[in-house]
Amino acid sequence: MKHVLELDGVHANIGQFQILQGVSFRVPEHQVTVLMGRNGAGKTTTLRTIMGYVRPRAGHIRMNGAAIGDLSTHQIARRGIAYLPEENHVFHRLTVAENLQMADRRARDGHHPERVERMMDLFGDLRRAWCRPAGSLSGGQKQMLAMASALISEQPVLLIDEPSKGLSPGYVHRLVEILQGLKGSRTVLLVEQNVWLAGQVADTFVMLDDGRTVLSGNMQELLQREDWQQQFLGVHATRGER
């Protein structure tokens, strides 16, 4: 099995605080890997370190076998990684159409208008809101627009941070459908606290605790281990939505 991303003993600070204290895991190609842990475990910092926003203090980060830990964020993006942060970054004064057209023009392989149409097919709500300012959309619609803007570049690797946060159940189910549809064509590293959602989409999991990797393996194994869920996530059940 090919591993697209590899982290070995990664340490990283934010200011004077050491957040990552030994993060190691592999992300298999064309699968969904979910990064889990309690609040403050270092999940978002891990994504930001992979993306170059935070510089690793020690350890190694590789993409397709090549070191990327010393590259700038722009250079890392050019290698084929798209990042969707927890805050759905959309341009509120621009329309849905203008947001997607801007994302398409910024893609590393140039402008391809047909990709905007593909996003409209994938996100039907956005087609219906085509001419509306993004700032007028619901929270779920904004999250869908942010995801469409990340997907439109067709980067082979996606880092997605807490996409279900604040979404209604209907949008959570739509998110599951979209993430399931990416399998086989994209490699996804997903930060997600919703155990139900993670169980629907993830092939493998990585558990962080206090900035360290403490567990990793098949997602189905985690779903069967309520003791792990209680210890590292503080949840008592494997079924049902958060």
Co-location of 70 and 129 in the same domain? no
Please check whether residue 143 lies inside any domain of the structure.
yes
Co-location of 25 and 67 in the same domain? yes
d(CA 169, CA 187): 25
Tokens of 239: 């079924």
Please check whether residue 222 lies inside any domain of the structure.
yes
SS (H, E, C) 31-76: CEEEEECCCCCCHHHHHHHHCCCCCEEEEEEEECCEECCCCCHHHH
CB 183 within 8 A of CB 120: no
Co-location of 72 and 165 in the same domain? yes
Q: For residues 66-86, b (16+ Cβ closer than 10 Å) or e, as one string?
A: eebbebeeeebbeebbbbbbb
Co-location of 62 and 105 in the same domain? no
Please check whether residue 59 lies inside any domain of the structure.
yes
CA–CA distances in Å: residue 70 to residues 59, 61, 222: 11, 9, 33
How many CB atoms within 10 Å of residue 17?
A: 9
Co-location of 162 and 71 in the same domain? yes
Co-location of 45 and 112 in the same domain? no
Please check whether residue 174 lies inside any domain of the structure.
yes
d(CA 159, CA 44): 10
9 membership: H or E segment, kind and range: strand 3-14
CA–CA distances in Å: residue 201 to residues 5, 181, 183: 19, 9, 9
Which of 155, 172, 188 is the C-terminal boundary of a domain?
155
Co-location of 223 and 133 in the same domain? no
User: For the residues 198-206, what does the mean pLDDT come to?
Assistant: 97
Please check whether residue 60 lies inside any domain of the structure.
yes
d(CA 13, CA 45): 9
Co-location of 57 and 130 in the same domain? no
Co-location of 101 and 175 in the same domain? no
User: For the residues 138-155, what does the mean pLDDT come to?
Assistant: 88
Q: What is the CATH number of the domain that holds 53?
A: 3.40.50.300
Please check whether residue 87 lies inside any domain of the structure.
no
Query: By residue range, what is the domain housing residue 15?
Result: 1-80+156-242
0.85 cut: is pTM over it? yes
Q: What is the pLDDT of residues 204-225, one digit of tens each?
A: 999 999 999 999 999 999 999 9
Q: What is the pLDDT of residues 149-171, one digit of tens each?
A: 988 888 999 999 999 988 888 88
What pLDDT, on a 0 to 100 scale, did the predictor assign at position 4?
A: 97
> What one-letter code names the amino acid at 242?
R
Please check whether residue 86 lies inside any domain of the structure.
no
Q: What is the pLDDT of residues 35-66, one digit of tens each?
A: 999 999 999 999 999 999 999 999 999 999 99
Co-location of 54 and 170 in the same domain? yes
Q: Is the dihedral of CA 115, 120, 123, 129 positive or negative?
A: positive
Which of 155, 172, 202 is the C-terminal boundary of a domain?
155
pLDDT category at 240 given cuts 50, 70, 90 is very low
Please check whether residue 128 lies inside any domain of the structure.
yes
Among the ranges given (1-15, 127-141, 214-228), the one the predictor scored with the smallest mean pLDDT: 127-141
Co-location of 72 and 100 in the same domain? no
Taking phi over 0 as left and psi of -120 to 50 as alpha, with beta for the rest, 17 belongs to beta
Q: How many domains does the chain have?
A: 2
d(CA 118, CA 16): 45
Which of 115, 140, 155 is the C-terminal boundary of a domain?
155
Is residue 73 over pLDDT 60?
yes
Co-location of 177 and 139 in the same domain? no
